[in-house]
C-alpha cells in the first residue's frame, strides 16, 4: 500500500513538473488526509473538511495536499475551527477564484496561526503573510491574485516557500472555481 501511495505521489510530481497535471478528487475517506473518521472540527463547520474536494499542487519540488475552496461559501469558511493536529505538514487549503483581483483574508473563527500565500493566475506568489488566530485584521494580496494557499504557521519557512516562487496548480483545479 505504501509503495502504491509513493508511486502515485511520484507520478503526480512528474505530471506537475511537466507543467499542468496532477491529481484532483476526494480521497477514500473524503478528507485530504484519508482520515475516514473525519476531523474533530467537522462538527463545527458548515462544510466539513471531509466533504471538500481535494487536490495536489507543487511548490519547491514538493507535493502539497490541499482541500479546495472553490465557491463563495467554502472560501468564506476557509480553515475555521480546524486544529493544528488536523493539518499535516504538507497539507493546507487552496482558495481558487475565477479571476485575478486584489484579495484580503482575515482569521475569524480560525483558531490556529496560518501562513498565507497569494498567487497570480500562473501560480507566481505575489505576497505572503503570517496570520495570527482569531483576528479580524485583513491581510491583503497587495497585487491581483487568483489563488490563496493557507498552511499551518511555519510551513512556508520549513518548505522554503517565498514571494516570487511558483505554485504549480493543475488545470483540473483552476477550472473548479465558481
- Summarize pLDDT for 55-72 with one digit per residue, the tens: 999 999 999 999 999 999
Whether the full predicted model's pTM is greater than 0.85, yes or no, is: no
**Which CATH number goes with the domain that contains 131?**
2.60.120.1140
Task: Name the more confident of 177 and 137.
Answer: 137
Cα–Cα distance for residue pair 174/178, rounded to 1 Å: 10
Split into its structural domains, the chain has a count of 1
Cα–Cα distance for residue pair 153/111, rounded to 1 Å: 12
The range of the structural domain enclosing residue 95 comes to 2-174
Amino acid at each position: 500500500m505504501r509503495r502504491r501511495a509513493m508511486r502515485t505521489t511520484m507520478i503526480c510530481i512528474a505530471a506537475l513538473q511537466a507543467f499542468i497535471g496532477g491529481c484532483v478528487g476526494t480521497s477514500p475517506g473524503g478528507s485530504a488526509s484519508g482520515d475516514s473518521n473525519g476531523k474533530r472540527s467537522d462538527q463545527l463547520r458548515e462544510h466539513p473538511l471531509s466533504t471538500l474536494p481535494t487536490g495536489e499542487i507543487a511548490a519547491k519540488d514538493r507535493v502539497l495536499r490541499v482541500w479546495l475552496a472553490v465557491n463563495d461559501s467554502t472560501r468564506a469558511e476557509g480553515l475555521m475551527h480546524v486544529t493544528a493536529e488536523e493539518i499535516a505538514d504538507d497539507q493546507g487549503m487552496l482558495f481558487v477564484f475565477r479571476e485575478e483581483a486584489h484579495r484580503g483574508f482575515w482569521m475569524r473563527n480560525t483558531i490556529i496561526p496560518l501562513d498565507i500565500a497569494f498567487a497570480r493566475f500562473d501560480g507566481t506568489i505575489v505576497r505572503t503573510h503570517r496570520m495570527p488566530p482569531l483576528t479580524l485584521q485583513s491581510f491583503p494580496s497587495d497585487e491581483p491574485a487568483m489563488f490563496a494557499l493557507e498552511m499551518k504557521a511555519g510551513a512556508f519557512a520549513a518548505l522554503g516557500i517565498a514571494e516570487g516562487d511558483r505554485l504549480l496548480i493543475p488545470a483540473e483545479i483552476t477550472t473548479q472555481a465558481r
